[in-house]
Amino acid sequence: MRLYGKRSVLERLKVNPKSIKIIYLQEKLPRPEVAEIARKNKVKTETLSANRFFQLSQNNQAQGVLAEIGKFQYTDFDELIRRSQKATLIFLDRITDPQNLGVILRNTACFGGFAVVLPKYESVEVNETVMKVSCGSENYVPVSMVTNLSTALLSAKKEGYWAGAAVVDKGENPRKISLNFPLALLFGSEGEGIRPGLLKHADYRLTLPMHGAKLSFNVAMSVGIFCYEVFCQRNN
């Protein structure tokens, strides 16, 4: 796998330099901070001509920096839910757009105290596009991949988690209720929503108030708004 761009490579160097096999730098585009941190962590670097770098980066707006890295490491779900510091879990049901997952990882990393749970099937993985969009935030947010979201949610509930489902309408306003923690929040695809088999395990349904056009929020935007509300309630 490859990481594209200065920020993504810098964050990986800071958090997990051993996962980096080599960093390629484009000549005449000096990135002294990247080279310096790589040297301190004994990560190999190589400077390439503009043409050779372009061939490797495939015009992915790499800003003169790209890294060859190992496969993304998912966090074991059972380990995640049994930690003493329980993260708020973001269950993503049939989210297939890597841009959305990248934004979700970036939002959750900024607020802190979140983890993401993906199903093994009918879902985007943490791939190169996701990591580019997330700008290094995949280093700070645990991501688990499970065979069945419903089974995973029931396991979390046995460990004390409450479950709230984000629905387009007829749910409670999250600003007007006290959320229970530890908490799992469920989000579905923009076309079909949360699958009934998963939705039936929710303890409550939550709807963001919208007084404008009769539309709905993009899933990444919705997750960001809910995460802010969770952040506020956790810290009050």
CATH number at residue 94: 3.40.1280.10
Residue 186: the pLDDT is 98
Mean confidence (pLDDT) of the chain: 95
**Per DSSP, which regions of 7-50 are E strands?**
20-26, 45-48
pLDDT in tens, 76-89: 999 999 999 999 99
Q: Are residues 111 and 192 in the same domain?
A: yes
Model pTM score: 0.94
Residue 214 has pLDDT above 80, yes or no: no
Total structural domains within the chain: 2
Give kind and range of the element (H or E) at residue 4.
strand 2-4
Q: Are residues 57 and 147 in the same domain?
A: no
How much of the chain exceeds pLDDT 70, in percent?
A: 100
Residue 32 has pLDDT above 80, yes or no: yes
Residues spanned by the domain of 43? 2-69
Q: Are residues 205 and 224 in the same domain?
A: yes
CA distances from 36 to 11, 42, 45 (A): 14, 10, 10
**Residue found by looking up tokens 């190169």 in the block:** 128
Residue 172 DSSP code: B
Q: Are residues 100 and 59 in the same domain?
A: no
Which of 236, 37, 90, 225 lies closest to 23 in space, CA to CA?
37
Residue 222: the pLDDT is 96
Q: Would you place residue 61 in the very low, low, confident or very high pLDDT band (cuts 50, 70, 90)?
A: confident
Q: Are residues 52 and 140 in the same domain?
A: no
For residue 135, which amino acid is it? C
Q: Are residues 28 and 92 in the same domain?
A: no
d(CA 24, CA 86): 38
**φ, ψ for residue 9 (rounded to 5)?**
-70, -40
Long-range CB contact pairs, 221-225, < 8 A, 24+: 222/166, 222/187, 223/90, 223/104, 223/107, 223/108, 223/185, 223/187, 224/103, 224/104, 224/107
d(CA 186, CA 91): 5
Q: Which of 13, 44, 69 is the last residue of a domain?
A: 69
For residue 69, which amino acid is it? I
Describe the crossing of helices 219-234 and 98-111 by its angle, rounded to 10 degrees: 10
Q: Would you place residue 31 in the very low, low, confident or very high pLDDT band (cuts 50, 70, 90)?
A: confident
Q: Are residues 129 and 202 in the same domain?
A: yes
Residue 30 has pLDDT above 90, yes or no: no
